[in-house]
Structure 1
Amino acid sequence: VFLHSGLTQYRGQARNDTERRTLLRFSNIEVVVALAIAGMVNMAMVIMAAAAFHNGHSEVAEIETAYHTLTPLLGGAAAAVFLVSLLTSGISSSVVGTMAGQMIMQGFVRFSIPIWLRRAVTMVPAFAVIAWGVNPTQALVMSQVVLSIALPVPMLALLHFTSSRRIMGDFVNGKRIMALASFGALVVLTLNFVLLAGEFGMPIPFLG
């Protein structure tokens, strides 16, 4: 959310409403394409896991176990692709987190720190998890818990800002977009609540 907004901010300076509409259209296309690709990748991972591990391998709950189980089931190439995918996703997540932190500090709070310290703040926790021998799967789950707490804040703020005519002018969200966005936000908030409740052992009605 923060990084994409920051990267597109200086892509071009619109001088009139026509150019603003053009930039907005290209930005919307970019977001849709990026999310579609990310969604297909996520679906491919879930489908692969269901097809490979559901029948007779339901005990697979760790990343290492999944890697070793893939080799006899789908071959060494599949395990290698799984390994490379994990490495690249970890690197990209670290880079995105670092750059997003830079955008937040410089763009929102007008606070600047040395580059090396900025990189250390975002990278050291990941290395600390590895050095202390923390279960990577549990660390991944806890990171999603933290995201579930943090992400609703910018999501609701974005929904509020884009529905304000004072801020957006003629580009304010229409009633249909607001209805769809509000429904999507409600779904996300509900899923986040379910995740947090399950993680902290809270009973959830209708879900056992």
Structure 2
Amino acid sequence: MKEGLSEEELDARHADKMRKKKAARDKIMATKTIEKGLLIVNTGKGKGKSTAGFGMIFRALGHGFPVAVVQFVKGRIETGERMALERFDDLVTVKRMGEGFTWETQDRQRDIQAARAAWDAAKEMIASSEYRVVLLDELNIVLRYDYLPIEEVVDFLVNERPEDVHVVVTGRNAKDELIEAADLVTEMTMIKHPFRAGVKPQAGVEF
């Protein structure tokens, strides 16, 4: 028992500590008054970038908000997220614009055309203000390969995105310009991954 205190004394000390913490937290929260659409970037080598993005999509659906998803790369893969979203077809628009990873297509011009078509669709949906959250899944991949000009993408997301629309961008190797422009950036760090131990991607975990 800590410092010879009784359970009752420990409980009282804990309650006092939590009261002070709540008071401090409430004071901080009272200063947070801005409400606006956020530009959110999930990047890094660790697993979970798209998963976190889709988590925000499902969270928005829980509030009854209309949402949209543009998949820049994984278009050919039938994912669990897409199948689940089909149950909310009155609130969700999903555009699978990718044709697979670049090492699968092995055709740079085809990849550039696919990226442009996906970006044009994304811009239209974001600018429409019809959606509260728009997920641009794996946009960072096409930006990494310079299939789209980073300046164009950042300019649109900063200057032409409606004020109340949240945009989530996923994928490894986010460009510095996008990170600088974003409101929220999370880097997923890989500590351990079953793929390195010979475990193949599995339904319900990887897709």
Q: Under TM normalisation by the shorter chain, which class is it? A: under 0.3
Q: What is the TM-score when the length of structure 2 is the normalising length? A: 0.24
Q: What is the TM-score when the length of structure 1 is the normalising length? A: 0.24
Structure ranking higher in strand proportion: 2
User: Using CA pairs below 8 Å that are at least 6 residues apart, which structure has the higher relative contact order?
Assistant: 2
